[in-house]
Structure 1
Amino acid sequence: MTNNSSTFCKFNEDFKYILLPVSYALVFVVGLALNAMALYVIVFRTKRWKPSTIYMFNLTMCDTLYIFTLPFLIYYYADENDWPFSEPVCKLIRFLFYSNLYGSILFLCCISLHRFVGICYPVRSLNWISARQARLVSVAVWACVLFCQAPVLYFVRTRDVDTERICYDTTSPELFEDFLVYSSIVSVLMFALPFMVVMVCYGLMVRKLLEPGWGSDRGMEGERGGLTARRSKQKSVKMIVIVLAAFMLCFLPFHLTRSLYYSFRYTRQVDPSQISCRLLEASSVAYKVTRPLASANSCVDPILYFLAGQDARSNLTKRSKLPSPKPNTVSR
């Protein structure tokens, strides 16, 4: 961690040279196939883009760009932390890795907010939500992500150690204190706040969906209206389950273990007597184990599109059902 021998801890991290390449390779294969299918349906089989379609397209783009960074990391960790490329490439890969990770979080938040307004304020949502507004929100999200992740291009460094070149996931040891401040701010703004928004939205949505008369305020009366209300409720419940699973299983463990490891590392650097090397190593192992979970989100998001959207399934399965041309008849 530093040049001071009293704060230096040496970890045995051989497990990550198997765990990370294998898990990233699985995410690359499965995630690329699912996201390519989702993009195909959105771009080529969807004629009318609703606001939810626009958000889902941007979410899929985030996941796809994120997946394209994985082959570089697969090679790097399989070669036991020996970066074969230049420092600018290292900076770019880490920048894209985290930009698309947090882009996914923010677009999941947008999708949740969109569904919340449609369920809890069905009449007002007709004026509040439009495709044009969704496009403006998407541009704002991309601008926010790129701005907040730009410091990664400064912090990420490479360093030659013996015969290997390290591409730091964080930053060089001498800049770690500044990086810790930056990382903490990003975690609050781009994970903790969106996570709280999603939880509040879903809590209010569940309460609304459990109301006995839900659906009547949307003009869904009669047998056909009741069927539409049930389908809308099922769609909302599926979305709630999938998005919460993405946050609770993919993003939350990653951010908790990372924050714990960073704080232990900083405390050890300031006062070695406060944190033992064994405790620091345990937090480092936990952090590295949860990193594949964050990557697995790229495989979960397309499931959200195909399971929670009736239009997506119909666009995927529909065939060319255009009526065959009738033979010309001669009028008499």
Structure 2
Amino acid sequence: WERKLMSLFLFSSTSEMEPNETFSFRNCTIENFKREFYPITYLIIFVWGALGNGLSIYVFLQTYKKATSVNVFMLNLAISDLLFISTLPFRADYYFRGSNWIFGDLTCRIMSYSLYVNMYTSIYFLTVLSVVRFLATAYPFRLLHVTSIRSAWILCGIIWLFIMASSVMLLKRGSEQKGNLIACLELDPQKINKLLIMNHIALVIGFLVPFFTLSVCYLLIIRVLSKVELPESSLQASHKKAVTTIIITLIIFLLCFLPYHSLRTLHLVTWNVNSCGDRLHKAVVITLALAAANSCLNPFLYYFAGENFKDKLRAVFRKDHLQKAKTKRSFPICVWLKTETRV
């Protein structure tokens, strides 16, 4: 049973649970909507996400010797986002071509796999971050071993292995010839009942359990802070970051993950091979883009709630600025010396 559960978790579909049932429904306006909506949206997410997460990873690695457990979780979250973001240009090209895949079967398999690995690693890393912040606030001296860097890396490794192993079934189905087009990222109508069961398992384990844990942490941390009286400096140093972490994480859950899981489930429950359902289809398209956009929102979490992230970021820019200034100052001197040498 445990092996079945592992294989079903995150295997929310044999492809992506997008509203693109078969290529026989080209009369649905959803196809035109996807062609107009997905390419520009994915490219915006790609540019912003690549800049935000790339810079965040650079900052984390620059000061890794002084890292904390919180920054270890954030570093892994940023790596997950950057890996997923690298697939977005392929997705944009697919929908720009009218749902025609040109990048080969293996790349098609990786597309769905990367989406769900990123989505659920993000959910779990965000949840663990909130739990660690709560524990550091409620039990600052009792659970130091839990918040150690070594424990953080072990937990990150467990999350990576669990999510990647659970999603491996997504690699079994790739591209498929549909007339003159090659389909990828499509829902298989012949397996709708199986997909519905898998969706419910992924919904509970991949979203509802972490969301419930996050909500409990939020309530408990408010309760702890209401009972503890600390100087303003101490509140800003630790407790304020804990509250900020959980609030930003809740916003990401409510904005990115809750709409997608809700409408994805509704889409599968109400799905009918003879219906077009453009309104629901468009809603699922939009919520899938919102789920992908979590990669753009996570850098705000690093900036406002990361350990010394603001100072590290300023130091990086200050260092680059000083290097440019030295280059500008040294250039005239080099020219002058060259001139004098000639004379």
Residue 296 of structure 1 is aligned with which of 293, 303, 310?
A: 293
**Contact 1:50-1:130 within 8 A present in 2 as well:** yes
Tell me if the contact between 1:94 and 1:169 (Cα under 8 Å) persists in the aligned partners. Answer: no
Tell me the TM-score normalised to structure 1 length.
Answer: 0.83
Q: Does 1:195 align with 2:195?
A: no
Query: What amino acid sits opposite 1:186 in the alignment?
Result: A
> Which runs of structure 2 are paired with 1:162-201 in the superposition (5 Å)?
162-170=179-187, 172-201=188-217
Contact 1:66 1:101 in 2 (8 A): no
Change (3 A) 1:127 1:310: closer
Instruction: Tell me the equivalent position of 2:327.
Output: none
Shift of the 184–87 alpha-carbon distance from structure 1 to 2, 3 Å rule, reads: farther
Q: Distance in 2 between matches of 1:40 and 1:68?
A: 17
1:284 is aligned to 281
**Aligned partners of 2:70 and 2:307 also within 8 Å:** no
Which amino acid is the alignment partner of residue 178 of structure 2?
Answer: V
Counterparts of 1:9-48 in structure 2 under 5 Å?
A: 11-13=28-30, 14-48=32-66
Describe how 1:302-317 pairs up with structure 2 within 5 A.
302-317=299-314
Deviation at 1:161, TM superposition (A): 2.1
Cα offset, 1:234, TM superposition: 2.5
Q: What amino acid maps onto 2:35 in structure 1?
A: Y
Q: Using CA pairs under 8 Å that are at least 6 residues apart, name the structure with larger relative contact order, 1 or 2.
A: 2
AA of the residue aligned to 1:312: F
Q: What residue in structure 2 maps to residue 206 of structure 1? A: 222
CA distance in 1, matches of 2:307, 2:168: 38
Matched residues in 1 for 2:197 and 2:123: separation? 21
Q: Secondary structure at the match of 1:129?
A: coil
| Alpha-carbon distance in 1 for matches of 2:73, 2:87 | 22
Question: 2-side partners of 1:301 and 1:126: how far apart?
Answer: 26
| Correspondent of 1:111 among 105, 112, 129 | 129
Cα shift readout 1:148-188 (whole Å, capped 9, x = no counterpart): 1111122x342222211110343x32233222222321221
* Aligned counterpart, 2:245: 239
SS in 2 for 1:126: coil
Q: Which residue of 1 aligns with 2:110?
A: 92
In structure 1, distance between residues paired with 2:256 and 2:308: 26
Task: State the distance in 2 between where 1:240 and 1:228 align.
Answer: 18
Could you tell me whether the CA contact under 8 Å between 1:238 and 1:308 is conserved in 2?
yes
Whether the 8 Å contact between 2:244 and 2:305 is mirrored in structure 1 is yes
Change (3 A) 1:214 1:143: farther
Mapped partners of 2:209, 2:219: distance in 1? 15
Quick one: distance in 2 between partners of 1:192 and 1:247?
A: 10
Secondary structure at the counterpart of residue 11 of structure 1: coil
CA distance in 1, matches of 2:293, 2:240: 25
Pick the aligned partner of 1:158 from 150, 159, 175.
Answer: 175
Please give the residue correspondences for 1:61-100 in structure 2 after superposition, counting only pairs within 5 Å: 61-100=79-118
Decide whether the 8 Å contact of 2:111 with 2:185 is kept in 1.
no
Residue of structure 2 equivalent to 1:324: none
Unaligned stretches of 5+ residues in structure 2: 1-20, 320-343
Q: Would the alpha carbon gap of residues 150 and 113 (structure 1) be closer, same or farther in structure 2, given more than 3 Å must change?
A: same
List alignment gaps of at least 5 residues for structure 1: 216-224, 321-332
Output aligned runs, 1:223-238, within 5 Å.
226-238=232-244
Q: CA deviation at 1:2?
A: 7.9
- Alpha-carbon distance, 1:260 to partner: 0.6
Q: Deviations over 1:24-67 (max 9, x none)?
A: 11000001000011001000134322111111111001100110
Q: How many residues align?
A: 296
Corresponding residue number in structure 1 for 2:12: none
User: How far apart are 1:124 and its partner, in Å?
Assistant: 1.3
| Aligned partner letter, 2:294 | N
Q: Which residue of 2 aligns with 1:328?
A: none
CA distance in 2, matches of 1:2, 1:78: 18
Identity across the alignment (%) = 31
122-131 or 23-32, which deviates more: 122-131
| C-alpha distance in structure 1 between counterparts of 2:252 and 2:94, whole Å | 26
- Per the normalisation by structure 2, the TM-score is 0.81
What's the counterpart of residue 263 of structure 1? 269
Alignment CA distance shift 1:22-1:117 (3 Å): same
